[in-house]
Amino acid sequence: MSDFSLEALLDSRRGEDLDLWADTINPQFVRVLRTIGFDRTWARAEGAYLYDTHGTRYLDLLGGFGMYGVGRNNPRIRAALVEALTLETPGMLALGATLLPGLLAEELIGLAGGRIERCLFTNSGTESVESAIKLGRTATGRQRVLSADHGFHGLTLGATSVNGNWEFKARFQPLLPGCDQVPFGDLEALEVELRREDVALFLVEPVQGKGINLPPDGYLAGAQELCRRYGTLFGVDEVMTGLGRTGRMFAFQHWGLEPDLVTLAKTLSGGYVPSGALLMARSVHEAVFDSMSHAMSHGSTFAPNELAMAAGLATLHELREECLVDESARLGRRLLELTRPLVDEFEVVRDVRGLGLAWAIEFGEPQGGRMTYRMIERAQRGLFAQLVIVPLFTKRRILTQVAGHEMAVIRILPPLVVTDEDVEEFADALRATVRDAQRMPKSLTKFALTAASAGVRR
Ligand SMILES: Cc1ncc(COP(=O)(O)O)c(C=O)c1O
Give one DSSP letter per residue of 88-120, joined into a string: T-----SSS--HHHHHHHHHHHHHH-TTEEEEE
Inform me whether the pLDDT recorded for 309 exceeds 90: yes
Residue 341 Cα, ligand 1 centroid: separation in angstroms?
31
Inform me whether the pLDDT recorded for 370 exceeds 70: no
Q: In the chain, how many domains are there?
A: 2
60 Cβ below 6 A of ligand 1: no
Would residue 346 count as lying in a domain? yes
Residue 439 Cα, ligand 1 centroid: separation in angstroms?
36
For residues 280 and 301, state if they share a domain.
Answer: yes
SS3 449: helix
For residues 120 and 222, state if they share a domain.
Answer: yes
Nearest residue CA, atom 6 of ligand 1?
A: 154
Residue 68 Cα, ligand 1 centroid: separation in angstroms?
14
Mean pLDDT of the chain: 94
Query: 179-182 and 358-363: which strand pairing?
Result: unpaired
Using alpha carbons, select from 160, 130, 143, 137 the residue that is nearest to residue 196.
Answer: 143
Return all residues near 339 (Cβ < 8 A) that are at least 6 apart: 352, 359, 361, 427, 430
The answer to whether residues 343 and 349 touch, using CB atoms and an 8 Å cutoff, is yes
For residues 395 and 238, what is the distance between their CA atoms, to the nearest angstrom?
34
Residue 150 Cα, ligand 1 centroid: separation in angstroms?
13
For residues 121 and 251, state if they share a domain.
Answer: yes
Residue range 72-93: average pLDDT?
93
For residues 316 and 294, what is the distance between their CA atoms, to the nearest angstrom?
31
Would residue 181 count as lying in a domain? yes
Per the DSSP assignment, residues forming a β-bridge with 203 are 147, 235
Q: The domain that contains 176 carries what CATH number?
A: 3.40.640.10
For residues 229 and 96, state if they share a domain.
Answer: yes
Range of the domain at 87: 76-321
Q: The domain that contains 27 carries what CATH number?
A: 3.90.1150.10
For residues 338 and 211, state if they share a domain.
Answer: no
342 Cβ below 6 A of ligand 1: no
Would residue 9 count as lying in a domain? no
Residue range 74-89: average pLDDT?
96
400 Cβ below 6 A of ligand 1: no
Domain boundary among 321, 354, 376: 321
Residue range 275-280: average pLDDT?
98
Residue range 246-252: average pLDDT?
98
Atom of ligand 1 at shortest range from CA of 241: 1
Nearest residue CA, atom 7 of ligand 1?
A: 125
For residues 18 and 287, what is the distance between their CA atoms, to the nearest angstrom?
48
Domain boundary among 286, 321, 356: 321
Residue 213 Cα, ligand 1 centroid: separation in angstroms?
16
Report pLDDT digits (tens) over 113-169. 999 999 999 999 999 999 999 999 999 999 999 999 999 999 999 999 999 999 999
SS3 81: helix
For residues 181 and 53, state if they share a domain.
Answer: no
Residue 441 Cα, ligand 1 centroid: separation in angstroms?
37
Report pLDDT digits (tens) over 186-220. 999 999 999 999 999 999 999 999 999 999 999 99
For residues 175 and 451, what is the distance between their CA atoms, to the nearest angstrom?
31
Apex 122 CA angle, 116 and 234, nearest 5 = 35
For residues 96 and 230, state if they share a domain.
Answer: yes
For residues 200 and 283, state if they share a domain.
Answer: yes
- Quickly state the pLDDT bin for 458 (edges 50, 70, 90): very low
126 Cβ below 6 A of ligand 1: yes
Mutation test residue for ligand 1: of 127, 266, 411, the one with most atoms within 8 Å of CB? 266
Domain boundary among 302, 321, 340: 321
154 Cβ below 6 A of ligand 1: yes
SS3 15: coil
Least confident of 2-11, 124-133, 221-230, 364-373: 364-373
Least confident of 5-9, 358-362, 365-369: 365-369
Residue range 275-281: average pLDDT?
98
237 Cβ below 6 A of ligand 1: yes
Would residue 103 count as lying in a domain? yes
pLDDT of res. 455: 54
Report pLDDT digits (tens) over 409-436. 999 999 999 999 999 999 999 999 999 9
For residues 297 and 342, state if they share a domain.
Answer: no
Would residue 226 count as lying in a domain? yes
Inform me whether the pLDDT recorded for 243 exceeds 90: yes
Residue 238 Cα, ligand 1 centroid: separation in angstroms?
9
For residues 95 and 188, state if they share a domain.
Answer: yes
Would residue 13 count as lying in a domain? no
For residues 145 and 199, what is the distance between their CA atoms, to the nearest angstrom?
6
What's the predicted TM-score (pTM) here?
Answer: 0.96
- Quickly state the pLDDT bin for 359 (edges 50, 70, 90): very high
Would residue 395 count as lying in a domain? yes
Residue range 388-401: average pLDDT?
95
The answer to whether residues 214 and 353 touch, using CB atoms and an 8 Å cutoff, is yes
Inform me whether the pLDDT recorded for 336 exceeds 90: yes
Would residue 2 count as lying in a domain? no
Inform me whether the pLDDT recorded for 437 exceeds 60: yes
For residues 393 and 257, state if they share a domain.
Answer: no
Which of the pair, 149 or 381, is modelled with greater confidence?
A: 149
For residues 392 and 342, state if they share a domain.
Answer: yes
Report pLDDT digits (tens) over 253-262. 999 999 999 9
Inform me whether the pLDDT recorded for 456 exceeds 60: no
Residue 165 Cα, ligand 1 centroid: separation in angstroms?
14
Mutation test residue for ligand 1: of 67, 68, 121, 126, the one with most atoms within 8 Å of CB? 126
